[in-house]
Amino acid sequence: MTEKKKVCHVFRRYSNQSIDKLLTHMNQEFTWFEHLRQLGYEPLLVKGSDRNEVLQYPNFSVHLIKTTAMQASWKISNVFVHQVIDTIRSEAPALLHMHSLLDVPFIYRVQRALKGRFPIIVQDHGSVYATRHQIYRPCYHKVDGFIFNSPGQELPWNKFGLVPEDRCFFAPEATSNLGACHERVFDKATPNLLVVGNLSHQKGTMTVIQAIRILKAEYPQIRCRFIYKSAPLLEEVERYLSDHDLKASVELLGTISHEQMHSHFCDADLYLSASGKEGSGYSAIEAMSVGLIPVLSDIPSFVDFTENGQVGALFKKDDPIDLARKVSDILNADVKRKSLETLSKFNRSLSAKAVGRRLAEVYAKVLNDF
């Protein structure tokens, strides 16, 4: 039996959230780890924590290393860095899979200490390029591979010479493990739309609200539900709904439990997102996993998810008229066929099996070139 290649995932401590809750969540949601095992790669986690401990979960083993929660990676303590390096040396993985493109000071210190002993892959999670990042160039050029969620997200980093084009790879940073829905019953006269995301400018909330106003002329009984955690635009949204007689058409649900999300995904006809930026778009992935048709803004991750609008639809970011047009087009099409196409796309490219397969391909390429 061939011995599995150990892959060490390194995470610093990002917040004061409960480590045990986070690890329980990762154990349940990182289901692509099992597919990686089947393809010959054994995951090991090294994670900043509130304590030192080694734990074994059904889905992975983890070394917890005590440190404080730091928002800036250059503030990470020397003690934590040295313990991470000692753990990596002890475990002797085939490669390191580090997380967060902007954790450069941390990555650089690990690089220097290990002196090229192991190949290093760095996975981006929605970082935004800024001119100040130019100082990171020497570190980036010593990294063996970069994983972005979708094609297009790497371009600013390539353009300014930070990330070499030939070291860029693409793999979804998340999947969905929601179960199947009951058979959908679609009634064109009463379209049911769903939005998951904070009421904010970044999430394009007003673009969706304005599109609903346009659509109501053609679909008087249209309904759109918003699920969100924070709502900086709540007053503006409520005022707009009142001024334009949309209170019966738009329901602001606020925060609901993740367990309740499944029923909302299954009850909707279309999933909308007008977001201006996403690392991936986890809620869109969840929606697609149950066959809920996506109508998404034309940002890189959503272009990827929809195969440039061939699955569901893409609309011009910040354009409520185009959003309304794309929603109407789908409502007038074969909705059942569109739903099946959505589910097929998820299984093909965004499922746990697909994520595992893609990461295994990246690992094999980096190891072969090292």
List of domains in the chain: 5-175+352-369 (3.40.50.2000), 192-350 (3.40.50.2000)
Nearest in space to 33 (alpha carbons), one of 43, 25, 24: 43
- pLDDT, residue 133, reads 87
- Measured CA distances, 275 to 147, 155, 172, 202, 312 (Å): 22, 19, 18, 6, 16
Helix segments in the chain, DSSP class H: 19-29, 32-38, 78-91, 104-114, 137-140, 155-159, 205-216, 234-243, 258-267, 282-289, 300-305, 320-331, 335-345, 352-369
For the record, the structure tokens of 315 come out as 């609309």
Residues 157, 129 contacting (CB under 8 angstroms): yes
Confidence class of residue 359 from pLDDT cuts 50, 70 and 90?
very high
- pLDDT, residue 185, reads 84
Lay out the sheet containing 95-99: strands in order across: 53-56, 61-66, 41-49, 5-11, 95-99, 120-123, 145-148, 168-170
Q: Does 180 score more than 90 pLDDT? A: no
Question: Which of 25-29, 68-72, 288-292, 319-323 is the least confident region?
Answer: 68-72
195: helix, strand or coil: strand
H/E stretch holding 47: strand 41-49
- pLDDT, residue 281, reads 92
d(CA 227, CA 20): 26
- pLDDT, residue 131, reads 85
Confidence class of residue 3 from pLDDT cuts 50, 70 and 90?
confident
pLDDT in tens, 251-308: 999 999 888 999 999 999 999 999 999 888 999 999 999 999 999 999 999 999 999 9
- pLDDT, residue 280, reads 86
d(CA 214, CA 323): 10
Confidence class of residue 1 from pLDDT cuts 50, 70 and 90?
low
Q: What residues contact residue 341 under an 8 Å CB cut-off, 6+ apart?
A: 311, 312
Query: Mean of the per-residue pLDDT values for the chain?
Result: 93
Question: Which of 21-25, 44-48, 102-106 is the least confident region?
Answer: 102-106
pLDDT in tens, 83-133: 999 999 999 999 999 998 988 888 988 999 998 899 999 999 988 888 888
- pLDDT, residue 254, reads 96
d(CA 101, CA 96): 14
Calculate what percentage of the chain has a pLDDT beyond 90: 79
The CA-based angle 343-349-350, given to 5 degrees, is 75
The CA-based angle 341-345-351, given to 5 degrees, is 140
Give pTM, 2 decimals.
0.92
d(CA 366, CA 348): 23
Question: Which of 16-30, 34-48, 344-358 is the least confident region?
Answer: 16-30
Question: Which of 61-75, 164-178, 356-370 is the least confident region?
Answer: 61-75
For the record, the structure tokens of 272 come out as 């909308």
- pLDDT, residue 87, reads 96
Q: Does 60 score more than 80 pLDDT? A: yes
